[in-house]
Structure 1
């Protein structure tokens, strides 16, 4: 499977920096105990600590070539959550900017062993958590461009669902195939009692052979589908047709993949 992004990787690096700045500024001055909607138990403070920690984990992985055992997981003495996020972002962006995104780099996905993987992964991690803190603080949710959302849909389906759950040995309780459509792209998500898979469909049209085994379909504006798949929007935010049990099984497995 080709794990490369559907969006220009230079833009994804810019998105990472911009979204992290918005996240940090939103967190600054907000009450840490504010709850993140649709994420039981997660707060604004925990989200900021998580994202700052993830930036440092990724940087350590990139520099050492392997999954790190130790990195800074909390703000330092007298360091605000805002500064913890900002300094982590700057170091990571500076490191990624020094390398061509096509250059080989250790990652946790064999389909994309390049620096581009980290640009993409960290950008989408940041977009989703930026939405989280804005929602928790009752601020207007900033727009997610369609091409960013479409790439994010591709990432959550192919990397998190198709790859991560397979590595973990997760299977379904029943067989079912769900088509996902957003913008000009489409994907097929297959769940069986023997394994899982998700793949892009060329263009938006699903051919007759695949159409015959589709049990359900999810469609909607790219931003809504993106946030729905990440568990950040309710069912009514997208159109769900066909076998709802097949969709619910896929959605529940995504929660397992991304927890």
Structure 2
């Protein structure tokens, strides 16, 4: 499966790069060293393993693994996560923070995207070349961060976005090759409509959430989530925006656009046209979702 291939490649690159300098500061996560980054990724993996094995969100997390060396912990977590994915159908039920998709497939996609971003974090920290992100993985990551992290997130956890959403509403179109996303930002949240984005999407299944399925709430970098109740859920945020001309357009190759949306590159790393303030507002609105 393509997502597993991408996950394995980025895991290997992350470990290789991290081993060069565990003490280096991560510029995109300035409170962290590379050792902290590696430990974070390992704990995220083990959390997802626990979710899939037990069918529940762990009530107490993380466990105290401070005595385990970071790279050894990462190795153990990678093996456990891969074993879990290899033993399960992507359509199998697993609790997630995204109500419309309570499946193993959600975590497969999320961990592939989590890993590629943190692989880039490690490369930036150790001043090593940033390995190119495959176009299909990058386009899928753009879709995820816009529709789920921003569109769904602004409605599911509106209190986290209050200070970054505009009043009145503004629309921005993001394009990467044939794929495009029209984002409407307003005081009530964000809505996202995709154009030809499906042509760049990786084949991850989507299934309706079962009744009373647990969802999860934001806890930090990479979009990891902790437990919340299902009846707090709101819309997915991917309703079509009103048909008006966007105030601005941002465009770049899929890998460049993905890193820009995740705030892993400079503000001028993409091309733009129209109202620059609208472009800056989109990047600002993503800040709570991409910590």
Q: State the TM-score bracket (shorter-chain normalisation).
A: 0.7 to 0.9
Residues in 1 aligned to 2:107 and 2:197: alpha-carbon distance in whole angstroms: 26
Give the corresponding residue for 1:217.
249
Give the corresponding residue for 1:7.
none
Residues in 1 aligned to 2:180 and 2:257: alpha-carbon distance in whole angstroms: 12
Retained in 1: the 8 A contact 2:261–2:283?
yes
- TM-score under structure 2 length normalisation: 0.78
Give the corresponding residue for 1:195.
189
In the alignment of these two chains, the number of paired residues is: 244
- TM-score under structure 1 length normalisation: 0.87
User: Alignment partner for residue 243 of structure 1, among 275, 285, 289?
Assistant: 275
Write out aligned runs for 1:30-45 (5 A).
Answer: 30-32=21-23, 34-45=24-35
Residues in 1 aligned to 2:197 and 2:117: alpha-carbon distance in whole angstroms: 25
Residues in 2 aligned to 1:137 and 1:74: alpha-carbon distance in whole angstroms: 27
1:210: how far off? 6.2
Sort the Cα spacing of 1:241 and 1:30 in 2 relative to 1 into closer, same or farther, 3 A: same
Structure with higher RCO (Cα < 8 A, 6+ apart)? 2
Residues in 2 aligned to 1:43 and 1:165: alpha-carbon distance in whole angstroms: 30
Retained in 1: the 8 A contact 2:178–2:197?
yes
Write out aligned runs for 1:74-153 (5 A).
Answer: 75=65, 77=67, 79-153=68-142
Q: Which runs of 5+ in 1 are unaligned?
A: 1-9
Give the corresponding residue for 1:258.
290
Residues in 2 aligned to 1:193 and 1:71: alpha-carbon distance in whole angstroms: 33
User: Alignment partner for residue 65 of structure 1, among 20, 45, 55?
Assistant: 55
Q: Which runs of 5+ in 2 are unaligned?
A: 199-240
Say which is worse superposed, 185-194 or 23-32, in terms of deviation: 23-32
Q: Does 1:226 align with 2:231?
A: no
* The structure with more helix, counted as a fraction of residues: 1
Matched residue SS, 2:14? helix
